[in-house]
């Protein structure tokens, strides 16, 4: 099914341009520049590696707006930022729906396939990493930040547990959840959405967790 989608993005009231965002099944294209000849940044599908997203509150003494932010990074490390702002509740419902729609199309066109590639590796008993989470046949390895240093900790599959929150995804050990745990923020940590999908799919296939 073709899920190509076009959006018009007005980043803020200071930006007078309705910028075009095109999410094709073969590329991502955003009019993020003010150049007349070439205002678009284009990422081809095979270049796209990671994304992160979130809503930031705009405030000065009081909260008066929302900044909807989506970042896409390619394999060269280049980052494309898509964002738009709502002030004093104006267009809040419309903008929030646009934010959800963009995330859904990005997932359907790019990141679901990336998640499926990781799942194929797992099925073939290949080791891999999503962010700093390491996957293998035995379990996962997470990096836990301590006072002095960051410590890598292995959790066997039968002890892996997860919990999802609005802004982050948590992984912990059922044997020692208070000490062996780590949260991954959807806005700050790359590919947390992919991590969520891959890990929970594996846990469900093993009848460890159900959703």
Of 117 and 88, more confident? 117
Q: Is 192 within 8 Å of 131 (Cβ atoms)?
A: yes
Mean pLDDT of 41-60: 94
The pairing of strands 79-87 and 128-130 is: unpaired
pTM: 0.91
**Helices assigned H by DSSP within 45-89:** none
- pLDDT of 186 > 70? The answer is yes
Model confidence pLDDT, tens digit, residues 6-48: 999 988 777 778 899 999 999 999 999 887 778 999 999 999 9
Confidence at residue 208, expressed as pLDDT on a 0 to 100 scale: 96
Q: Is 174 helix (H, G, I), strand (E, B) or coil?
A: coil
E-strand stretches of 24-149: 27-30, 41-44, 48-60, 62-74, 79-87, 128-130, 133-135, 139-145
Confidence at residue 1, expressed as pLDDT on a 0 to 100 scale: 53
- Please report which confidence band the pLDDT of residue 2 belongs to, taking 50, 70 and 90 as the band edges: low
Angle at the Cα of 167 from the Cα atoms of 165 and 24, rounded to 5 degrees: 110
Q: Is 45 within 8 Å of 27 (Cβ atoms)?
A: yes
- pLDDT of 68 > 60? The answer is yes
Model confidence pLDDT, tens digit, residues 115-151: 999 999 999 999 999 999 999 999 999 999 866 678 9
Task: Please provide residue 28's backbone torsions phi and psi, each rounded to the nearest 5 degrees.
Answer: -120, 130
Of 120 and 61, more confident? 120
């Amino acid at each position: 099914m073709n899920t190509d989608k076009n959006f018009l993005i007005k980043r803020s009231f200071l930006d007078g341009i309705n910028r075009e965002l095109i999410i094709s099944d073969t590329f991502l294209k955003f009019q993020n520049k003010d150049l007349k000849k070439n205002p678009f940044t284009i990422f081809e599908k095979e270049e796209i590696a990671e994304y992160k997203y979130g809503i930031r509150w705009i405030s000065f003494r009081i909260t008066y707006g929302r900044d909807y932010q989506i970042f896409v990074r390619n394999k060269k490390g280049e980052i494309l930022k898509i964002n738009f702002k709502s002030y004093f509740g104006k267009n809040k419902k419309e903008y929030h729906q646009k934010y959800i729609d963009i995330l859904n199309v990005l997932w359907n066109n790019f990141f679901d396939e990336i998640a499926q590639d990781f799942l194929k590796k797992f099925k073939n008993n290949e080791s891999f990493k999503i962010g700093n989470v390491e996957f293998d046949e035995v379990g996962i390895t997470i990096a836990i930040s301590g006072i002095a240093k960051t410590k890598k900790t292995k959790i066997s599959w039968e002890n892996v547990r997860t919990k999802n929150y609005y802004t982050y995804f948590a992984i912990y050990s059922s044997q020692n959840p208070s000490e062996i745990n780590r949260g991954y923020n959807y806005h700050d940590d790359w590919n947390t959405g992919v991590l969520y999908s891959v890990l929970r799919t594996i846990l469900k296939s093993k009848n460890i967790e159900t959703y």
